[in-house]
Amino acid sequence: MSGSKDSRGWKARVRLKFWQGFLLGLLFVLWYVLTSPTLLPPIYFAEPNQAAFFFGEPLKVAERLWRWFASGEIYVHLWVTLVETLLAFLIGTVLGVIFGLWLALAPAASALLDPYIKAVNAMPRVILAPIFFVWFGLDIASKVALGVTLVFFIVFFNVYQGVKEVSPVVLANARMLGASPRQLLRYVYVPSAMSWVFASLHNSVGLAFVGAVVGEYLGSARGVGYLIHQAEGFFDMNTVVAGIVLLTAFALLLDWAVGVLERRLMVWQPRAVETERT
């Protein structure tokens, strides 16, 4: 019985993957047909290859990606961007967790700093990039700093909220069982806040990339953001789109890695149970 149920679930998953892939293929075909200079008569644009100029062409984008990897010229840029992203992600997360725990457990400090935290969070922090260039130079440090400012607040607010939402009964129970304040932190607050941290990590993966790429875009000599910026200078839309596709793929990869880590560490969480039709 369970075997047939498993295979049915497996079939449903395969079917879903197929349709997801089909949608992707459809988008590419649509993109190809609408931007090809020869296939359709110009509907909106006056010149036949103007659509290709604005939106790039899928085959040329693919070719660009292929040449990047075949010639190996992309690796140094990709490496720089990934290092910036991962460093921003890690540093921002660690700082966010530490400050989140601290402020959530120290009401006086939290009350004192509240307006400042709100102000810094409301500030459009991307404009800090030029200041970071002055402070940290044009190397990776300034990009990491920008990414950290973006990641930090997401994780910080989630940890803060997570600590505030610790069940008072679980807390009282741990105290009755003899937990010291330190043990409460380690055995109750931190594990309880972890589910919030993971929720925030999925959001902050993308923002770590934003920090790295925008930083490169504004001033650097290496990185995928730099490549995109250069290509824009020549109106080379195919390279710009190729860069975007590459970044998206790696952001998805990192998000997937976070998901794997989450499933490993959060085994205790109840998952939605689905009933199956027989």
Partner 1 sequence: MNSAALALESIDCTFGSREDASQRYTALRGATLRVAKGEFVSVVGPTGCGKSTLLNVAAGLLSPSAGSVAVFGEPLSGINSRAGYMFQAEALMPWRNTLDNVIAGLEFRGIGREEAQARGRDWLKRVGLAGFDKRFPHQLSGGMRKRVALAQMLILNPQILLMDEPFSALDIQTRQLMENELLELWGADRKSVVFITHDLEEAISLSDRVVVLSAGPESHAIGDYTIDLPRPRDVAEIRLDPRFIEIHTRIWHAMKEEVLKGYERQQRQ
Positions touching partner 1 (CB under 8 A) are 167, 169-170, 172-180, 183, 187-188, 191-192, 194, 267-270
As measured in angstroms, the least distance from the Cβ of 70 to partner 1 is: 48
As measured in angstroms, the least distance from the Cβ of 173 to partner 1 is: 4
Measured CA to CA, the distance from residue 159 to residue 197 in angstroms comes to: 6
- Go through 66-79 and write b for each residue having 16 or more CB atoms within 10 A of its CB, e for each that does not: eebeeeeebeebbe
* Helices 107-122, 73-105: crossing angle, 10 deg rounding: 140
Nearer to partner 1, 271 or 277 (CB): 271
Residue 31's contacts (CB-CB under 8 Å, 6 or more residues apart) are: 55, 57, 58
As measured in angstroms, the least distance from the Cβ of 169 to partner 1 is: 5
Nearer to partner 1, 126 or 171 (CB): 171
Residue with tokens 């109106």: 235
Measured CA to CA, the distance from residue 203 to residue 196 in angstroms comes to: 11
Nearer to partner 1, 1 or 267 (CB): 267
Nearer to partner 1, 124 or 178 (CB): 178
As measured in angstroms, the least distance from the Cβ of 190 to partner 1 is: 10
Measured CA to CA, the distance from residue 139 to residue 212 in angstroms comes to: 11
- CB-CB contact of 89 with 212 (8 Å): no
- CB-CB contact of 147 with 211 (8 Å): yes
Nearer to partner 1, 127 or 272 (CB): 272
- CB-CB contact of 79 with 72 (8 Å): no
As measured in angstroms, the least distance from the Cβ of 178 to partner 1 is: 4
As measured in angstroms, the least distance from the Cβ of 192 to partner 1 is: 7
Nearer to partner 1, 124 or 270 (CB): 270
Taking residue 171's Cβ as centre, other Cβ atoms within 10 Å add up to 15
Nearer to partner 1, 72 or 178 (CB): 178
As measured in angstroms, the least distance from the Cβ of 180 to partner 1 is: 7
Measured CA to CA, the distance from residue 158 to residue 203 in angstroms comes to: 11
Three-state DSSP class for residue 221: coil
Nearer to partner 1, 95 or 190 (CB): 190
3-state helix, strand, coil in the chain (%, to 5): 80, 0, 20
As measured in angstroms, the least distance from the Cβ of 194 to partner 1 is: 8
